[in-house]
């Protein structure tokens, strides 16, 4: 777990910004407490911008998305967090009873295809890819589909985060179950025989870049960070189903600083923040007026699949029980 505590950037800036805030927001005391599954490089880039833009303080607790959900659920009687930031929409829907519905002022700019539950607000469109170490395996020779990932010749060559700790790994599991229907669990079990499991989705591209595995299932922006950093890595969007789903941001019901939480959500969905996410971090915006990350393919040219929600697959705990069987635990 990583806790980042931020303070005002300066009394003059804080005073100037605070005078523009609503009376209710000015009356709130203490920081905005945010639980997030975002990796450190994203938190460290975005939090100073949030504080500079709003004059508010933020305290961030970083955990795997599964741990974010479990902690928020455990604290439901006395919430410590104001906002849950960047875990999958499916996981947020499972937490709907402890969330407070809230639509930011610019909600009408969000692409309606990403709006599926009033309990949370879409934050970015997350695309899941196969990252390939091109020093170890050419893109021509790499698998191009989920079905090909099940080939025994890839044993020990595919890094994947654990689905019980990573929302992205859970989304990938949901994709396989959706694509292959009645054969979903059998297909996933065959793919899983080739896995090298990591504790987080952020570790997957590092495994690939360092040559610990020749491939890894990860988020598009995680892979692009390494590509742009000069790592020998290429990206493949799987032909039988590229997952592109929203992660979300949500207000925790009964949190200690609800007005600060709303201000954070407003900021996260603002055009300037969404453009920063797209242009610097490689995340695709959910806003219709923000262009995709430079150099990324148009999703209209890709076979995009929307995974079935966890509730339709038996709920999070039921799916995780079967996942442990599939990976041999």
Determine the pLDDT at residue 214.
98
**DSSP bridge pairs for 60:** 4, 34
Mean pLDDT of 251-263: 98
Confidence of residue 15 (pLDDT cuts 50, 70, 90): very low
Report pTM.
0.73
DSSP code string of 198-259: ESSTTHHHHHHHTTSSSEEEEEHHHHHHHHHTT-SEEEE--TT-EEEEEEEEEEETT-S-HH
List Cβ neighbours of 235 (8 Å cut-off, separation of 6 or more): 129, 130, 131, 132, 220, 223, 224, 227
Element (H, E) at 305: strand 304-305
- From the centroid of its chain, how far is CA 157? 24
**DSSP bridge pairs for 33:** 59
Q: Report pLDDT digits (tens) over 273-311.
A: 999 999 999 899 999 999 999 888 888 888 999 899 888
List Cβ neighbours of 154 (8 Å cut-off, separation of 6 or more): 143, 194, 215
Cα separation, 267 vs 95, in Å, equals: 22
Determine the pLDDT at residue 297.
84
Confidence of residue 128 (pLDDT cuts 50, 70, 90): very high
Contact by Cβ (8 Å): 231, 248: no
Check pLDDT > 80 for residue 49. Answer: yes
Confidence of residue 268 (pLDDT cuts 50, 70, 90): very high
Determine the pLDDT at residue 28.
56
Element (H, E) at 58: strand 58-62
Q: What percent of the chain has pLDDT over 70?
A: 91
Cα separation, 322 vs 327, in Å, equals: 9
Burial (Cβ within 10 Å: 0-12, 13-18, ≥19) of residue 221:
buried
Check pLDDT > 90 for residue 181. Answer: yes
Confidence of residue 133 (pLDDT cuts 50, 70, 90): very high
Locus of tokens 């945010």: 34
Q: Report pLDDT digits (tens) over 192-223.
A: 999 999 988 889 999 999 999 999 999 999 99
Determine the pLDDT at residue 299.
84
List Cβ neighbours of 206 (8 Å cut-off, separation of 6 or more): 226
DSSP code string of 83-101: EEEEEEHHHHHHTGGGEE-
């Amino acid at each position: 777990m990583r806790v980042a505590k931020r303070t005002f950037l300066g009394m003059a800036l804080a005073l100037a910004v605070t005078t523009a805030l609503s009376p209710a927001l000015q009356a709130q005391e203490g920081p905005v407490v945010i639980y997030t599954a975002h990796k450190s490089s994203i938190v460290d880039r975005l939090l100073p911008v949030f504080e500079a833009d709003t004059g508010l303080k933020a305290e961030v607790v970083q955990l795997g998305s599964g741990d974010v959900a479990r902690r928020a659920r455990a604290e439901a009687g006395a919430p410590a967090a104001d906002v849950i930031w960047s875990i999958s929409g499916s996981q947020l829907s499972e937490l709907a009873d402890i969330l407070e519905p809230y639509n930011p002022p610019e909600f009408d700019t969000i692409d309606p295809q990403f709006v599926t539950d009033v309990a949370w607000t879409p934050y970015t469109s997350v695309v899941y890819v196969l990252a390939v170490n091109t020093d170890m395996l050419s893109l021509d020779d790499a698998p191009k589909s989920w079905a090909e990932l099940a080939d025994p010749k890839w044993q020990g060559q595919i890094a994947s985060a654990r689905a019980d700790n990573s929302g992205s790994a859970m989304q990938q599991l949901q994709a396989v179950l959706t694509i292959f229907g009645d054969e979903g669990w059998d297909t996933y079990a065959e793919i899983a025989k080739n896995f090298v499991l990591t504790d987080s989705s952020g570790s997957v591209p590092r495994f690939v870049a360092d040559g610990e595995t020749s491939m890894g299932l990860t988020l598009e922006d995680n892979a692009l960070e390494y590509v742009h950093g000069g790592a020998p890595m290429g990206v493949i969007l799987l032909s039988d189903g590229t997952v592109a789903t929203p992660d979300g941001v949500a207000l925790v019901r009964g949190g200690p600083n609800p007005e600060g939480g709303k201000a954070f959500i407003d900021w996260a969905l603002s055009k300037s923040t969404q453009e920063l996410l797209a242009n610097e971090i490689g995340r695709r915006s959910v806003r219709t007026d923000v262009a995709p990350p430079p150099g990324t393919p148009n999703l209209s040219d890709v076979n995009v699949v929307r995974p079935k929600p966890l509730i339709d697959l038996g709920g999070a705990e039921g799916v995780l029980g079967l996942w442990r069987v599939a990976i041999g635990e």
